[in-house]
Structure 1
Amino acid sequence: MGYFLIGFLVVVLSVGNVIEEANGEIPRTILGKIERINQKGPYLGIVAPNNYELNPLLGSKAYVPSSSLPFIDFAGRKFRFGKLSKQPVVIVMSGLGMVNAGVTTQLLVSLFRLKGVLHYGIAGNADINLEIGDVTIPQYWAHSGLWNWQRYGDGIDNELALESGGDYTREVGYLQFSKYSNRTDNLLNRVWYQPEEIFPVTGTPEERQHVFWIPVDKSYLKLARKLEDTKLPQCVNTTCLPRPPKVTIVKRGMSASVFIDNAAYRTFLNSKFNATAVEMESAAVALISHQQNLPFIVIRALSDLAGGGSDVSNEASIFSSLAAENSVDILVKFVALLPPHGSKIQSE
């Protein structure tokens, strides 16, 4: 009977643990580790999109993993702890797309004591004046995947559905699909780009605000300007780019859970919004950091000309690894510019 009761209790406790994790609660053992880690903070939170970009950072000589607690596994993520260029860091991989990036960044800023968020990786290029391998640091980010798709037959002067209630707007602009039709009527009409609805921690709870362009931290951007025109490797084995890649501060980057391999849409994003880097995660990292009142910056190396258009534009399979390495190189150089641990950079 005694063995039966013990076995029964083990089963009950095991089920309880499964339910605890299934409900998204933090196990006590994990909470204890988080508390220990936070005593040594604040940290720089570093978000990488995928293993492709993460592994070069973990293999960098500038990164030294923590000997006492190198990582914590929670919610399907591995939060790695260590020092990068002598700065305490928490490194995490988000996974593909806006939802993954948003969830991961929110976990990062909620669980750990941070002083800033850095995001890096590769991106498609929407500016034909830049080259594959160039590292871009945009001053603003926007989510370009929140649309109000207009009813067929309505024109640009017609009010959008739910516009009068403040849910949608025509202020940002639109893409008219019929411009790209083959001389036939296009039932798709147009889509109007929308700002994000946000709830900043500094605002009134449940009182929404709207934002389309999210600015990176001015102090971080000022430091990043010191890296502008830094020359980077241009060859993969015997295949070389037309010139050495460089670091460029650009005006804008745009993100959506859409892979852009289309020259017409690339041209539209560049001409309409002056966007350069186009990818799938950075705006989510920017939105979360902005709402949480944390300084952030994004470093994205160009892996291809989105949709093609030059003699090397479709060589992403060759040069993506070079772009990933370049993004890590500049991330490390940027971290080295930050004030020593214990001092504080003044966010502007």
Structure 2
Amino acid sequence: MKKIIPLLAFALASCSFFASATQTIAIVGAMDAEITNLLPHIKNKQTITIGQHRYYQGQIGDHDVVVTRSGVGKVNAAVTTTTLISEFKVAKLIFTGIAGAASPQLSPTDVVISTALVQHDVDLTVFGNKPGHMDGFDDRYFYANNELVTQAFVAAQQVINQQKVFKGVIATGDQFIANKQKVNFIHNEFNAMAIEMEGAAVAQVAFMFNKPFVVIRTISDKADGSAHFDYPELKQITADNSVAITLAMLDPR
């Protein structure tokens, strides 16, 4: 009975939050590896090019989707998110892919579902702001949608070992972090579990347009200087995990 209740709750939540087939869901990854295995699942696929980006429009399961690769970094992520909202009228956004670990409790292939995102490389402290806090915003964190967080968390538990799935803050910056001292600062300052290069930019744009979002990150490395050993070997495995979790969100069984 204990196993049935969470799955029933997940199914009911899926019915309520993904109920409308007319609400298009954006699925974004930074790199080709993070979306390639999604593309064969798109029915009636159309490829639309805007600027230098290709957007793949169609259906996955019963849901209208647009899948795209944003490119690495905050500017690419922000431009792509704005285009998805303004040109494709998406109703919600899922950003999926890989990240480095900020929390010492995480290991490669663990999964972090975003509760909030912050830009760790924003520094207006000279004006009295906290690190990561930009002028014009009440908070330095951008908060993920609670229902999407629940969807992603339960889907991740279905795909991988439950003990390897976490919820927490994800920190974003235009840097590939490979320094233990920097990792410790980000973890301690922002209570961040994972570090990557796009999520908070997606979150900021989504917040500005009042669109629900969630970021799903599978840990590829410790972000402490050992990445050149871990990253190449784990990149595709971790990207595949994120794809599988996204598919489980869209088609719960």
User: TM-score, with normalisation over the residues of structure 2?
Assistant: 0.84
Give matches, 1:1-348, under 5 Å.
41-59=22-40, 63-66=41-44, 70-148=46-124, 160=126, 163=127, 169-170=128-129, 172=130, 193-197=131-135, 208-227=136-155, 229-230=157-158, 232=160, 247-308=164-225, 314-337=229-252
**Preserved contact between residue 102 and residue 195 of structure 2 (Cα < 8 Å):** yes
State the distance in 2 between where 1:51 and 1:228 align: 21
**2:137 partner letter:** Q
State the distance in 1 between where 2:27 and 2:151 align: 17
**Preserved contact between residue 135 and residue 245 of structure 1 (Cα < 8 Å):** no
Cα RMSD for the two superposed structures: 2.3
**Preserved contact between residue 126 and residue 305 of structure 1 (Cα < 8 Å):** yes
Q: Tell me the residue number matched to 1:37.
A: none
**Preserved contact between residue 228 and residue 249 of structure 1 (Cα < 8 Å):** no
State the distance in 2 between where 1:222 and 1:229 align: 11
Q: Which runs of 5+ in 1 are unaligned?
A: 1-39, 150-159, 164-168, 173-192, 198-207, 233-243, 339-348
**Preserved contact between residue 133 and residue 323 of structure 1 (Cα < 8 Å):** yes
State the distance in 2 between where 1:100 and 1:308 align: 25
State the distance in 1 between where 2:156 and 2:30 align: 23
Matched residue SS, 2:72: coil
Aligned CA distance change for structure 1 residues 246 and 108 (closer, same or farther; 3 Å): farther
State the distance in 2 between where 1:225 and 1:245 align: 9
Instruction: Kindly state the Cα deviation for residue 262 of structure 1 after the two structures are TM-superposed.
Output: 0.7
Give deviations 1:210-263, integer Å, cap 9, x for gaps: 43111100111222332354453xxxxxxxxxxx68652322100010110111
State the distance in 2 between where 1:210 and 1:260 align: 27
From the two aligned structures, give the one with the greater helix fraction: 2
Instruction: Kindly state the Cα deviation for residue 194 of structure 1 after the two structures are TM-superposed.
Output: 3.7
Q: Tell me the residue number matched to 2:3.
A: none
Q: Which runs of 5+ in 2 are unaligned?
A: 1-20
Aligned CA distance change for structure 1 residues 116 and 337 (closer, same or farther; 3 Å): farther
Matched residue SS, 2:233: helix
**1:324 partner letter:** A
Matched residue SS, 2:174: coil
Structure label with greater radius of gyration: 1
**Preserved contact between residue 116 and residue 294 of structure 1 (Cα < 8 Å):** yes
Aligned CA distance change for structure 1 residues 56 and 83 (closer, same or farther; 3 Å): same
Matched residue SS, 2:251: helix
Matched residue SS, 2:35: helix
State the distance in 2 between where 1:304 and 1:44 align: 29
State the distance in 1 between where 2:221 and 2:137 align: 35
How many residues in Structure 1 have an aligned counterpart in Structure 2? 233
Aligned CA distance change for structure 1 residues 273 and 194 (closer, same or farther; 3 Å): closer
Aligned CA distance change for structure 1 residues 225 and 74 (closer, same or farther; 3 Å): closer
User: TM-score, with normalisation over the residues of structure 1?
Assistant: 0.62
**2:133 partner letter:** P
Instruction: Kindly state the Cα deviation for residue 84 of structure 1 after the two structures are TM-superposed.
Output: 1.7
Instruction: Kindly state the Cα deviation for residue 308 of structure 1 after the two structures are TM-superposed.
Output: 4.3
